[in-house]
Amino acid sequence: MTDRVEGLMAAVPAEPRGEGPEWLQGLRREATATLRSTGFPGKKHEAWRFTSVRDVVGTTYETAEADDGAQAFVDETLGDDGTFRLVLAEGRLAAASGAPAGVSVRSLAEVLENEPSLVEPVLGKLAPAEHFAALSSALFEDGAVVVFEKNAVVETPVHLVHVASPGAAPKASYPRVVVLAREGSQATLVESFLTRDGEAKHLTNTVCEVQVGANARLDHARITDGTPRALQLAYLSVALDRDAFYGSRVVSLGGGLTRLELTTRFIGPGSEAHLDGVYHVDGSEHVDHQVRVEHAAGHCTSHVRYRGLLDGRGHAVFNAMGIVQRDAQQSAAHQENRNLLLSDDATIDTKPHLEIDADDISASHGATIGTVDESSLFYMRSRGVPESQARDILTFAFVRELIDRIAHAPLVKRASDRVLDRLPHGDAIRELTE
């Protein structure tokens, strides 16, 4: 290694950050050592085959400071959406008061200072230990800790809004989130990722670790609005205890680079996960979803349903891996990825696949790439709807079907609106569907 380190690796200190409890220091040491020895992934890594991070890694970033205007920006952008909303400006949680009963939301930095044992069983335990997840473990300073108390039924969605504020020079932030849905709790969590206008590239490198306790139900929407300058790399790692439910509703709308690595692990029997995703790319945008489901316990069901709209010269990547371990009998693992090609120049690389070591299970996987359904198109035209309008309606309906599963009506509306904002004739479709 040369004396002068450039690019993203320059952010990694030779000596890891020293403060905090021993387990945290250990996590940081290991992450730093892993990064220094193995570095960042290249094309030869299966999960990164179709997504180049050369540009991400080759850039030298300043550490992003919290942006004072973030709260006002969020209020203006999102309006009143009926959620309990908290802003994380560049990964820093400003204030967290007024949470609904049964919920606590705290700054991760504060928890690590005052009550580190709260997050010790989860932080760094669920997320991968390499690549950009290791970068987060080495460098994160703050983030949020969300706890849904035992048997709490929380009607109001808890909404974490991540705000990135690009500046004149490239900046990076490392928001870290820990979610503990205690036994028997029932709640909706929303994460929104917004990027403000700005000149230079901005890297948001997020790790979110979620523990869903026994018999708990957590619905987790994750809406990412991309911008051309936004590089958004994210890990979402979920562990489900027995008889739990986890619903993931991912909406990824463009961006210079938007990547999510979602890992869901069943560690107790009788649980169910619905992993839905919607994405849209246009221009030269790049969106990558890596969805991994590990059935380590029996009698669990997973449904992976991702749908994409591909326009312009956009590039989408979808990779699903379902693993059913030998003892995980009576598992059901289903994966479906469907794509509508709206342009000849757009690209999709899709690969749903399963690795099954148990014999008494049901499983399916499939991917389609096509245009709108011809029989639906004819049906609508035969009723008088002009062809171009029918195509527009069917294109939107293709993703709307999954967006409708988001648990909170104002969020369904916002996600739909954002998709429509990006579609040709979006306003016309909006008029028809309002």
Partner 1 sequence: MLKIENLHVSVDGKAILKGIDLEIAPGEVHAIMGPNGSGKSTLSYVLAGREGYEVTKGRVLFEGEDLMEMDPEARAAKGVFLAFQYPVEIPGVNNVYFLKAAVNAIRRARGEAELDAIQFMKYAREKAKTVQLPQELLKRAVNSGFSGGEKKRNEIFQMAALEPKLAILDETDSGLDIDALRIVSDGVNALRSEERAMLVITHYQRLLDYIVPDKVHVLVGGKIAKSGDKELAKELESTGYAEIQAQA
* Binding stretches for partner 1 (CB under 8 A): 374-376, 378-387, 389, 393-394, 396-401, 404, 432-434
The CB-of-212 to partner 1 minimum distance in angstroms stands at: 28
Asked if residues 420 and 413 have their Cβ atoms less than 8 Å apart, the reply is no
Cα-Cα-Cα-Cα dihedral sign, residues 364, 370, 371, 377: negative
Give the nearer residue to partner 1 in terms of CB position, either 62 or 387: 387
Q: What angle do CA 150, 294, 364 make, to 5 degrees?
A: 120
The CB-of-17 to partner 1 minimum distance in angstroms stands at: 48
Give the nearer residue to partner 1 in terms of CB position, either 114 or 368: 368
Task: List CB contacts of 259: < 8 A, sequence separation 6 or more.
Answer: 51, 232, 233, 234, 287, 288, 289, 290
The CB-of-208 to partner 1 minimum distance in angstroms stands at: 29
Which residues is 103 bridged to in the sheet? 148
The CB-of-392 to partner 1 minimum distance in angstroms stands at: 10
3-state secondary structure (DSSP) of residue 147: strand
Give the nearer residue to partner 1 in terms of CB position, either 163 or 394: 394
Q: How far apart are CA 337 and CA 315, in angstroms?
A: 15
- Give the position of tokens 């986890």: 246
Which amino acid is present at 160? L
Torsion of CA 348, 207, 408, 85, to 10 degrees: -140
Give the nearer residue to partner 1 in terms of CB position, either 293 or 399: 399
The CB-of-307 to partner 1 minimum distance in angstroms stands at: 10
Q: How far apart are CA 57 and CA 59, in angstroms?
A: 6
Give the nearer residue to partner 1 in terms of CB position, either 284 or 433: 433
Give the nearer residue to partner 1 in terms of CB position, either 267 or 407: 407
Asked if residues 334 and 364 have their Cβ atoms less than 8 Å apart, the reply is yes
Element (H, E) at 192: strand 186-195
Give the nearer residue to partner 1 in terms of CB position, either 31 or 406: 406
The CB-of-381 to partner 1 minimum distance in angstroms stands at: 4
The CB-of-412 to partner 1 minimum distance in angstroms stands at: 12
Q: How far apart are CA 232 and CA 255, in angstroms?
A: 8
